[in-house]
Structures are given as C-alpha cells and as structure tokens.
Structure 1
Amino acid sequence: MTSKLWPYVTPGIPDDLFDNLPGIPLSPREIRLQLLSQLRLKSDSVLWDIGAGTGTIPVEAGLLCPQGKIVAVERDEEVANLIRRNCERFEVKNVEVIEGSAPECLHDLKTAPDRVCIEGGRAISEIMQAAWSYLPASGRVVATAANLESLYTISQSFAQLRAVNIEVVQSSVNRLEMRGFSQAFAAVDPIFILSGEKLD
C-alpha cells in the first residue's frame, strides 16, 4: 500500500512529512526503521502500538500491512487526534485509534495482536504483562527504553515472561544539519530497542 505523499514501498518516511505538535514525541526515521525491522511485520499482521505519540509507527505499519490492522493506543485526546490527522495525510485506512490508558484499556480492544510495540510508558512492566497475555505463540513484543531504568524494567519483564529470541539494540545515529553557514553532524538521542517472542 502506498500514498500520494509517500508513493514508495520502502519504509522510512522523512520526519518533516508528518504533522506534529510541540512537545509530542516523534520517533526519528532512523529509530523507526529499527523498530519496524524488529517487529517483523507480515502483510496481515495485527499490531498494537501502545503510546503511539505522533503516529509515525501506525502510519508506516499501516502502509506495510495492507491486509492487516494497526491499533494505536494513546491516552491524550489531542494526541489521538494528531494520529488520526497523520493517517489521513498518508491515506492509511487500516489504523484504529483508541483513546485510553494502558494497561487498563487493553481488555477493550476487539482484535488480538500478533505484534506489540510499546513506546515508553510509566507502567511499562504492567503494560508488557497485559499485552503478553493476548499474544499467540511466536507473537513479538518490541519496546523502547530511553534510560537505564526503563532498560532494566523491560529486560526484567522479558525474563519474567520467559520470552525467547531476545534482542537489544542501541545504535548511534548522526544527521548532517546546517549550523549557521556550515554543515555539522548532530547526534539523534540514543534509544534502546528491545524485542522478544512468546514461546507458547
């Protein structure tokens, strides 16, 4: 599936093509590509994106999974509307936006996932445990950690859930930017990406 704004089958939509609001986190393109790679999506995957923020992952995943369904969970009404606007911008029709706080709202979701993406969250351990219970065998969870506390919590949760094929990636990304009259490389904030699969 493609859109007029992004007529390519390749993921990696430039950040500035998305509508955004001040203070709302946007997963940078390079981080987004790593997240999508770790999710290992199929054309008919059902993805829950918990803490969907600007909606970059739902938009990209929606384009990559034309027969699938993406459920974007976001607790803030204004941010949820931002996700809807970005889906409209890219003509993505297979994204459902749910306004609610995880993990409490997860039991109201009508479609069980085979992939779960968790981008931040104050109750990351509880969210992982709740989402895990809906996954089938070989379902995958991908979670991001911006600090050591979250990294530890996610790692511990994967251990408690007896996840298999666990991977942890933390890459260094630099972008060429204009600084006055010269060009310089600016670092993108580092982030840990953790993934694991359900055995049974």
Structure 2
Amino acid sequence: MWKFKTPGIPDDEFERAEKVPITKEEVRVIQISKARLKPGQIVYDIGCGSGSISIEAALQIESSGKVLAIDYDETAIELTKRNIEKFGLTNISVIHGNAKEKILELEEADTIFIGGTGGDTKEIVELCENKLKTNGRIVIGIILIETLYSVLQVLEKLQFESVDITQVTISKSRKTTTGTMMLARNPVTIISATRI
C-alpha cells in the first residue's frame, strides 16, 4: 500500500471514524523522527486512536520488529485493525484495555509513543519508565498546557536525558471558490527523551 520508506502517509489514506483521533501527517512525521526507530525494535503506541503512528512505526521497524498498539476505546481498536489490514502489516498487535493496567503485562520496549490518554499521561509516563529499555526513547504528543507541565516534571523526576520540546503549528491549504487559503491546525507539543 505505502511503497515508500519515508514516513508521512497522507491522512486520507487511513480509514477514519468520527470521534477517533488521528495524529496528523506532519506531526506524525516529526514524532517518528524523534523516536529514532530502526529494524527489530519493540514499540508501544499508547492511545493508538486510528493507528496512524502504529502503521508508520511498523513500517520503520520492519517485519523483524513489533508494535503493541493500545487503546481503551473499542471503536479505536476496530479502526486500528482496519488500517493494519489496509496497509497489509503483520507486525502490529492490538490491545484493548486501560493502558495503566496493560503496560504492566507487556515486554520491554525500545520506543514508546504516548498519544491520547484521557488525562492519565503523567501516570502512564511513570509506568513506562520501568518498561523502557536503557537508551530507549519516549515520544509524547501533547495538546494541553497542563499535561505539558506535568510530563516535564515527571521526566525530570525520573531523570530522563536529552529532553526535547518541540511545538508544531501546521497550516494546510484548502481550495475555495476564489483560490487557495491556508487553514491553521491546533498546535501540538512533542516531548521526546531518552531513558538512561
């Protein structure tokens, strides 16, 4: 389906559902780059939503790696499964349930993506510290300022290194009857860090 090694699958290539979030294409590209993925890695996608990060990560880690996609929303789980099938991938396992419970059952990860968490991001980061291999990467997509503050505090407390904060504001073109206009999307803050 996606015949390129570079990330950045257009959003309209994914199956979508109302009220199930998708990490937008340009933000997804930055998150994938911050993860520093390579073949054979184990990756968590916590709050997988439509599965766009899972799909992009699975392509980067190739068939020798494995993505564990977790979400508590049944609609998101079904949507992620449809996207996995659409892209013909076999290296993604989909897990339905509360991430705070499911994380404890998982094998150690090389990289952890944290997206929509229903307000539990700080607690999930704390749980992930024990599941992330030494020199493993964590990449967190954040919209709320309060979440940003709490995550930075916990990363400092847990002594993560190379903490990077990148805020992205994307504008996309849209045709109108008189020409082309740029529409701004909501800013997203991406925090990435390394476990020592």
TM-score of the two chains, using structure 2 as the length reference:
0.96
Distance 1:40 1:132 in 2: 18
**Moved >4 Å (runs of 4+):** none
Aligned to 2:18: 22
Secondary structure of the residue that 2:93 maps to in structure 1?
strand
- Matches of 1:165 and 1:70, distance apart in 2: 24
Matching residue's letter, 2:52? T
- Contact 2:51–2:83 (Cα < 8 Å) also in 1: yes
SS at match of 2:135: coil
How far off its partner does 1:22 sit?
A: 0.5
Q: Residue 11 of structure 1 aligns with which residue?
A: 7
Structure 2 unmatched runs, 5+: none
1:163 aligns with 2:152: no
Is 1:57 aligned to 2:53, yes or no? yes
Match of 2:122 in 1: 125
Q: Percent identity?
A: 31
RMSD: 1.0
Secondary structure at the counterpart of residue 90 of structure 2: coil
Stretches of structure 1 lacking an aligned partner (at least 5 in a row): none
- Where in structure 2 are the equivalents of 1:171-190 lying within 5 Å? 171-190=168-187
- Count of residue pairs brought into register by the alignment: 194
Once the two structures are superposed, the pairs formed by residues 74-85 of structure 1 within 5 Å of their partners are 74-85=71-82
1:15-164 to structure 2, matched below 5 A, reads 15-66=11-62, 67-109=64-106, 111-121=107-117, 122-164=119-161
Code of the residue aligned with 2:44 in structure 1: it is W
Higher relative strand content: 2
Contact 2:71 2:98 in 1 (8 A): yes
